[in-house]
Amino acid sequence: MLMKGLKLTMDYKDLANLIFPDAKEISYYEEKYPERNLKERAVVSRFAPSPTGFVHIGGLYQALVAKEMTKKTDGVFFLRVEDTDQKREVENGVTGIVNSLKDFDILPDEGMITETEEKGNYGPYRQSLRKDIYQAYAKYLLEQGKAYPCFCSAEEVEEIRKKQESAKIRPGYYGVWAKCRNLTVEEAAEKIKNGENYIIRFKSPGREDRKIKHHDIIKGNVDFPENDQDIVIIKADGLPTYHFAHAVDDHLMRTTHVIRSDEWLSSVPLHLQLFHELGFKAPKYAHISPIMKNDNGNKRKLSKRKDPEAAVSYYKEEGIPVLAVKEYLLNIANSTFENWRRANPDKSIDDFDFNLNKMSVSGALFDMVKLLDIGKTVISKMTAEEVYNCAMEWANEYDKELAEMLENKEYSLKVLGIERGNKKPRKDISKWSDVKNSIIYMYDDKFFGGDVSYDYGKISDKAEIEKITKTYINEYFDINDDKDIWFNKIKDLAEKLGYAREVKAYKAEPEKWPGHVGDISTVLRVKLTGRQNTPDMYEIMQVLGKDSVEKRLS
């Protein structure tokens, strides 16, 4: 005993020093990243994606919610890049994330601003640059015997799992299965000195047969068994696991609200335990339900693999207005949004009082029809100049033909100004990729392209069509007419050619005429535009101008 006692000169501190000889005291970091000086109830939250080269619409949704909460409370929203899983990383992954947030005007107050640059006093905001910090906190746990080095190889851990599986026991590294948890400090030190590979595990004080109660801002009250898993906190490459980095970072970055995907809800017992054992105050959690898709009657998560609309890049490529996407996301985030919008059709979404408590517990169904409908409304409220600028920006990247059409800015503004700025503005454009189709006939060089045969509706006889357009051009058309005179002249034309002057009269006695003024208008409209449905024909003619109208009608 005495011999052994003599040998016991090593304690947890010595072991911690052996493992992380250069790590700083945690007090250094606690002072370096002080409590934030914000007003009471200010929310500090973050978007913390991995740079995998793909930004999921669900991620953007979380970022938007976090941004709304911080904005409304004069808090701080930051972007932290979680790149500790270096296998999953792609080149320029951070740039992709930064640009997506920029595209949707969800700008972080702090954090990464380019692939390599950042702003703010709580960085580095890229986890791979925070190795020293994690190791300091791992050392702190080791010093107290709350963490330990584990020498089990991947094969041994797999072996354990198999045994548990065949014995139908809960899998994992815990309790009696946690072999290395019971090594003495000397045994562990010996192995380290012999060059054995190891990782650092958390020594969980939890018991599976005890329950914890947790209040989640979105999910409400939830009960969980305590965590008893000795999870890995520092991996063989010296970097932390998500769980450990989450605790250290959100503590040091002084996050008040962790707003994240509900796939992490079941990790809450572990996270609360980590915060507790590290001596940190735990943040509040808000676990967001995923955006779902109706797949032939089955509700499932929007999938990166199956659904193009799962990627944030999709919305940009399709030209769905940024404002429409944000408005749609707010719509699914807060069920009160829709009523608010109805009552305040002209207010900016910034005026909406977003409420985290009102987020739905289950996942909202993604509804493209609704999104495009919002797109239509959003675009209908824009000025011609705004539509022009957005369409041009989109076209420059995705549609050269449209960009060329729009080059004639003065004319294009007139085209886009048709039925705009009035009480009932045109609502035929839901996304920038619709613009070309909705205005292409207004451009002579496109209109006179091929030999298309149009559908003139009720009047299909070629000679009759010719007669209508010729008579109109020769006897009635005058580009200087005001709208009333113009319309009266079309009625005159109808009457002259034996059609009903008024639709109402025709409907009362349809046998009296071959058709009515509306059928005549349709012929003119189709001849002018190739389509039966267009915005106001008078405005169209005004924008086309005398020469183009005459050319089209003859």
Binding mask 200-239 for ligand GLU (x = CB under 6 A): ----------------------------------------
260 binds ligand GLU (CB under 6 A): yes
Q: How far apart are CA 499 and CA 490, in angstroms?
A: 11
Q: How far apart are CA 124 and CA 90, in angstroms?
A: 19
Task: Select 243 or 293, whichever has its Cβ closest to ligand GLU.
Answer: 243
243 binds ligand GLU (CB under 6 A): no
Applying CB under 6 A, which of residues 48, 231, 330, 543 lies at the interface with ligand GLU? 48
DSSP per-residue letters across 230-297 = --EEE-TTSPBPHHHHHHHHHHHTT-SEEEEEGGGGGGHHHHHHHHHHHTPPP-EEEEEPPPEEEETT
Q: At what angle do helices 483-496 and 462-471 cross, to 10 degrees?
A: 140
Q: How far is the CB of 282 from ligand GLU (least distance, A)?
A: 13
Peptide bond into 124 cis (omega under 30): yes
163, 202 Cβ separation under 8 angstroms: no
Task: Select 246 or 527, whichever has its Cβ closest to ligand GLU.
Answer: 246
Q: How far is the CB of 48 from ligand GLU (least distance, A)?
A: 4
Q: How far apart are CA 545 and CA 528, in angstroms?
A: 12
- With tokens 């947030």, the residue in question is 101
Task: Select 224 or 538, whichever has its Cβ closest to ligand GLU.
Answer: 224
Q: How far is the CB of 259 from ligand GLU (least distance, A)?
A: 7
57 binds ligand GLU (CB under 6 A): no
Task: Select 47 or 499, whichever has its Cβ closest to ligand GLU.
Answer: 47
Q: Is 5 exposed, middle or buried (0-12, 13-18, 19+ CB in 10 A)?
A: exposed
399 binds ligand GLU (CB under 6 A): no
User: Applying CB under 6 A, which part among 15-23, 47-55, 114-122, 130-138 lies near ligand GLU?
Assistant: 47-55
50 binds ligand GLU (CB under 6 A): yes
Q: How far is the CB of 263 from ligand GLU (least distance, A)?
A: 7
Locate 86 and state its tokens.
Answer: 């270096």
Q: How many residues sit in the footprint of ligand GLU (CB under 6 A)?
A: 9
The β-bridge partners of 260 are 287
246 binds ligand GLU (CB under 6 A): yes
Q: How far is the CB of 86 from ligand GLU (least distance, A)?
A: 13
Q: How far apart are CA 58 and CA 302, in angstroms?
A: 8
**Closest C-alpha among 314, 195, 250 to residue 76:** 250
AA letter at 379? I
User: Applying CB under 6 A, which part among 48-56, 171-179, 225-233, 378-386 lies near ligand GLU?
Assistant: 48-56
User: What end-to-end distance do the CA atoms of the chain give, in Å?
Assistant: 114
Q: How far is the CB of 268 from ligand GLU (least distance, A)?
A: 11
Instruction: Give φ, ψ of 83 to 5 degrees.
Output: -115, 45
Task: Select 257 or 376, whichever has its Cβ closest to ligand GLU.
Answer: 257
Reported residue count of the chain is: 554
49 binds ligand GLU (CB under 6 A): yes
Task: Select 93 or 149, whichever has its Cβ closest to ligand GLU.
Answer: 93
Q: How far apart are CA 186 and CA 503, in angstroms?
A: 100
Binding mask 459-488 for ligand GLU (x = CB under 6 A): ------------------------------
User: Applying CB under 6 A, which part among 46-54, 148-156, 477-485, 543-551 lies near ligand GLU?
Assistant: 46-54
Q: How far is the CB of 294 from ligand GLU (least distance, A)?
A: 24
Which residues lie below 8 Å from residue 25, measured CB to CB, with a gap of 6+?
Answer: 136
Helical residues (DSSP H) of 381-461, grouped into ranges: 384-398, 400-406, 409-417, 432-439, 444-447
Task: Select 247 or 544, whichever has its Cβ closest to ligand GLU.
Answer: 247
Task: Select 204 or 267, whichever has its Cβ closest to ligand GLU.
Answer: 267
Residues 349-378 that bind ligand GLU (CB under 6 A): none
Task: Select 201 or 246, whichever has its Cβ closest to ligand GLU.
Answer: 246
The β-bridge partners of 46 are 78
User: Applying CB under 6 A, which part among 152-160, 258-266, 303-311, 531-539 lies near ligand GLU?
Assistant: 258-266
Indicate the residue whose CB is closest to ligand GLU.
Answer: 260
Q: How far is the CB of 50 from ligand GLU (least distance, A)?
A: 5
Task: Select 82 or 539, whichever has its Cβ closest to ligand GLU.
Answer: 82
For residue 297, the Cα-to-chain-centroid distance in whole angstroms is: 24
Buried b (16+ CB within 10 A) or exposed e, 250-289: bbbbbbbbbbbbbebbebbbbbbbbbebbebebbebbbbb
82 binds ligand GLU (CB under 6 A): yes
Locate 408 and state its tokens.
Answer: 């004639």
Q: How far is the CB of 66 from ligand GLU (least distance, A)?
A: 9
Q: How far is the CB of 349 from ligand GLU (least distance, A)?
A: 23
Task: Select 258 or 543, whichever has its Cβ closest to ligand GLU.
Answer: 258
User: Applying CB under 6 A, which part among 114-122, 253-261, 376-384, 480-488 lies near ligand GLU?
Assistant: 253-261
DSSP-based three-state secondary structure for 517: helix
Task: Select 83 or 399, whichever has its Cβ closest to ligand GLU.
Answer: 83
Task: Select 83 or 230, whichever has its Cβ closest to ligand GLU.
Answer: 83
Task: Select 45 or 331, whichever has its Cβ closest to ligand GLU.
Answer: 45
Q: How many CA atoms lie within 13 A of 538 on its CB side?
A: 12
Element (H, E) at 328: helix 322-333
267 binds ligand GLU (CB under 6 A): no
User: Applying CB under 6 A, which part among 151-159, 231-239, 256-264, 476-484 lies near ligand GLU?
Assistant: 256-264
- Strands 118-119 and 110-112, sheet pairing: antiparallel
Distances (CA, A) of 275 to 23, 228, 251: 20, 15, 8
Binding residues for ligand GLU, rule: CB under 6 A, are 48-50, 82, 246, 258, 260-261, 264
